[in-house]
Amino acid sequence: MNALMAKGLLFAAILIGATVYVVNSMHIDLSDPINLITMIGAVAIAVLTVGVSIKYINQMKTDTASGELAEENWDGIGEYKNELPGGWAYSFLGTLIWAMWYFTVGYPVNSFSQIGQWNEEVKAYNAKFEEKYKNPNQETLEDMGRSMFLVQCAPCHGNTGDGLSGKAHDFVDGRISKKQVLDVIKKGSNQLGYQMGAMPANMVTGKDAEEIAAYVAGGMKGKQPASFGVCAGCHGADGKGMNGMAANIAEYDENLITHVIKNGKHGAIGTMPAFHDRMTPVQLKALATYIQTLRGE
């Protein structure tokens, strides 16, 4: 063992000793695997540092110049001809092959895009939503409906659904006012996209219209006016719209809410924009459920 080796071992011992001292003084718990691995790493760095240093110091002391000089030199300073190391050559070839894959398949197909990320996010969310709300109960629907109402509907219909003093339809006070019914009877309607098609204007007029309006606005209770037969042709004798063929004028069912949300509505009060593509069928059902709970009796 030469003197250099002895000095190296001493230096390594000092480094390891210092490491152990720091570990002890900081009360580091070596039973934790992360701490232990870090400690082993620190010792390995000390050993490798000394080992590599000794190798190169020895080499500097004993090595002599050898090999064939390259033809080129710069102000008399030349260099030896060195073969390209095998590892380098193979990695270079490897990068060439990788580049071909990257330019043709990797970048165009697997590249990141915000839109792609959005698509994935929405897909994952929708799958989760469908799974979670496959068979929602009444309470879940009301909660979901309330939160949607507060975000999407409240700016016009008000947080409580009271229509903000006539700025929009009032869900609390009653279903539909006499004025609104008369407006529809007078102008007809073809905006909700029902299968039954357009409702012509002025099917009934004068006293008959007044009677019908009062009857519908009053919640379709009491004696049905004789002239309601005209309405019953499409809306059904009970006013429920014949299973979704025409608008349900007796109550806010899911079908009616869906058609209004999808097509928007222009009526006696003002214009409601369409909110199509913003809600899933479950959400529409939730909204209908919630709106039905708003009505104070």
**Residues lying near other proteins in the complex (CB under 8 A):** 114-115, 117-118, 121-122, 125, 151-152, 155-156, 159, 164, 167, 270-275, 278
SS (H, E, C) the chain: CCHHHHHHHHHHHHHHHHHHHHHHHCCCCCCCHHHHHHHHHHHHHHHHHHHHHHHHHHHHHHCCCCCCEEEEEECCEEEECCCCCHHHHHHHHHHHHHHHHHHHHHHHHHCCCHHHHHHHHHHHHHHHHHHHCCCCCHHHHHHHHHHHHHHHHHHHHCCCCCCCCCCCCCCCCCCCCHHHHHHHHHHCECCCCCCCCCECCCCCCHHHHHHHHHHHHCCCCCCCCHHHHHHHHHHCCCCCHHHHCCCCCCCCCHHHHHHHHHHCEECCCCEECCCCCCCCHHHHHHHHHHHHHHCCC
Identity of the residue, 151 or 226, whose beta carbon is nearer to other proteins in the bound complex: 151
Dmax (CA) of the chain: 123
Identity of the residue, 178 or 265, whose beta carbon is nearer to other proteins in the bound complex: 265
To other proteins, the closest distance from the beta carbon of 272 in angstroms equals 7
To other proteins, the closest distance from the beta carbon of 238 in angstroms equals 33
To other proteins, the closest distance from the beta carbon of 121 in angstroms equals 5
168, 270 contact by CB (below 8 A): yes
To other proteins, the closest distance from the beta carbon of 258 in angstroms equals 17
Identity of the residue, 88 or 118, whose beta carbon is nearer to other proteins in the bound complex: 118
Identity of the residue, 160 or 224, whose beta carbon is nearer to other proteins in the bound complex: 160
Identity of the residue, 158 or 225, whose beta carbon is nearer to other proteins in the bound complex: 158
Identity of the residue, 17 or 116, whose beta carbon is nearer to other proteins in the bound complex: 116
To other proteins, the closest distance from the beta carbon of 79 in angstroms equals 14
To other proteins, the closest distance from the beta carbon of 119 in angstroms equals 9
To other proteins, the closest distance from the beta carbon of 62 in angstroms equals 35
Q: Are strands 77-80 and 265-266 parallel, antiparallel or unpaired?
A: unpaired
268, 179 contact by CB (below 8 A): yes
Identity of the residue, 243 or 271, whose beta carbon is nearer to other proteins in the bound complex: 271
Number of Cβ within a 10 Å radius of residue 191 = 17
Identity of the residue, 37 or 274, whose beta carbon is nearer to other proteins in the bound complex: 274
To other proteins, the closest distance from the beta carbon of 169 in angstroms equals 13
